[in-house]
Structure 1
């Protein structure tokens, strides 16, 4: 099979299309023919091996060489084969999953408890836009943010991959939603259900005088004091992203904020989708919301499989509204 293999840290040019052995499913695994994947910061952080701090952390990106050879955290496709202990799926089933690796190849093996049926009515490309971004937004709002109907929620970075899902999910949970984004994406964020939109190129949300019960900080980059200023005394600040950097950031931004949690009245927490143990259950929840029309993936651009390095380069620029998706090889 063909896959983009990463043998050394660096630019998207280090993703080399290579012929590799097709994986064989273990007893509890399914072999999935990848019909679509997506590109996100998770992928290019591993590609570049940045921040450098992550290379020496447990479970990090690898010290001298990448720990993941085939990137691609989102998968949508068809079950090609199933191990002898698999009971949830059979060949031909259309599925999607947050795999953390393998999406940049033609096939990937995953445990059946990591995989969910693809939502009815979604194309493979639409389904591939969902797993990591929507799962992150769900964890941030429901699990860490503990959002309640009627609460006021501020989503900083509302037009990106996670942000577009966060706006829709917060609205579906009965919250009053304010989205922060650039002016060119304001109409998009409103169309997703935001009650108010703050154009960060014209207005500083931290100086608006408004208070919120919950701040979902996808964009990062603002000081903790700025973020706390817009929260009620018992409000919650959920870290999702942070400023990019070669050495420490965004890890430094997150660690500093979390270290302050014991000294301030607001809750300060992090949405950690990578270490979440209920990704399949979350995907089933998201499937229900998608099929009910509550949530719709937003796709900015779609690239063919042969242009994965270009897709990564485009997403790394950080200006795409919604998700950047890659169709599978034909």
Structure 2
């Protein structure tokens, strides 16, 4: 029995074209690349949209921290932030430092050997985008957007649903909205066609797939995902026929 809200796999889907975000796959992308992209790119684009209004239009290079830069969502958040010309600090483990730099991060902090809160205090971010979850960096920027909330476990999905079992997050968000503390939101991706169309400008090299498993290897795919060491998306391929 899988825990609640862990996701599903199936071989066929139905969707409503009027409400879904749909784009034609560029010919240079592989099918695993195309399959890996929409969820995380739309989440990253939603995070960018959520912090942009809080950045000063007079600042030539707003400072934005992206926690979890080598995560599937972090990879595209960094690329989108770089296109906007923001100064970026990101976090990852030592083995991913060069990779996260290559995505466009100006400063990369190895969370296994350095204090992330101390690095953020020195960086003085205008906003934090948290792709990891947790509470240690709360209060270190005027604007804090998270996709995982206070949780750090991979047993359940994140997003705004985490408000349902974490009243501290609800209170934190409400206080921020009335000016009693920093602005805080735990967000779900916005299913917008125009957001997904922006992804079509990505080079195939900018789409990161960690690994591809067959439909009969679902357990192995989840095992890889649950290591917490996947760089990019883990894809399950539906057999043709």
Report the TM-score when normalising by structure 2.
0.81
Q: 1:307 to 1:246 in 2, by over 3 A?
A: closer
Which stretch has the larger CA shift, 278-287 or 159-168? 278-287
Counterpart position of 1:178 = 89
Counterpart position of 2:172 = 260
2:199 aligned with 1:286, yes or no?
A: yes
Counterpart position of 1:243 = 152
CA RMSD of aligned residues (A): 2.7
Query: Deviating runs (4+, > 3 A) in structure 1?
Result: 245-250, 252-255
Deviations 1:6-43 (A, max 9, x none): xxx32xxxxxxxxxxxxxxxxxxxxxxxxxxxxxxxxx
Question: In the aligned structure 1, how far is the partner of 2:166 from the partner of 2:146?
Answer: 7
Counterpart position of 2:4 = 49
Question: In the aligned structure 1, how far is the partner of 2:171 from the partner of 2:237?
Answer: 41
Would the aligned equivalents of 2:75 and 2:100 in 1 still touch at CA under 8 Å? yes
- Structure 2's unaligned 5+ residue stretches are none
In the TM superposition, what is the alpha-carbon distance from 1:255 to its structure 2 partner? 4.5
2:37 aligned with 1:127, yes or no?
A: no
1:131-280 alignment, distance < 5 Å? 131-142=38-49, 144-146=50-52, 150-208=61-119, 209-210=121-122, 211-223=124-136, 226-229=137-140, 231=141, 235-241=142-148, 242-244=151-153, 251=162, 255-261=167-173, 262=175, 264-273=180-189, 276=190, 278-280=191-193
Question: In the aligned structure 2, how far is the partner of 1:167 from the partner of 1:236?
Answer: 17
Report the TM-score when normalising by structure 1.
0.61
SS at match of 1:207: helix
- Please point out which of 225, 232, 236 is paired with 1:315: 225
| Bigger RCO of structures 1 and 2 (CA < 8 A, at least 6 apart) | 2
Q: Whose helix proportion is higher, 1 or 2?
A: 2
Aligned residues: 222
Question: In the aligned structure 2, how far is the partner of 1:254 from the partner of 1:272?
Answer: 16
Would the aligned equivalents of 1:172 and 1:294 in 2 still touch at CA under 8 Å? no
Q: Whose strand proportion is higher, 1 or 2?
A: 1
Q: 1:246 to 1:181 in 2, by over 3 A?
A: closer
Would the aligned equivalents of 2:28 and 2:204 in 1 still touch at CA under 8 Å? no
Would the aligned equivalents of 2:29 and 2:204 in 1 still touch at CA under 8 Å? no
Would the aligned equivalents of 1:180 and 1:198 in 2 still touch at CA under 8 Å? yes
Question: In the aligned structure 1, how far is the partner of 2:197 from the partner of 2:47?
Answer: 17
In the TM superposition, what is the alpha-carbon distance from 1:248 to its structure 2 partner? 11
2:211 aligned with 1:305, yes or no?
A: no
In the TM superposition, what is the alpha-carbon distance from 1:311 to its structure 2 partner? 0.6
- Structure 1's unaligned 5+ residue stretches are 1-8, 11-47, 51-60, 62-67, 73-103
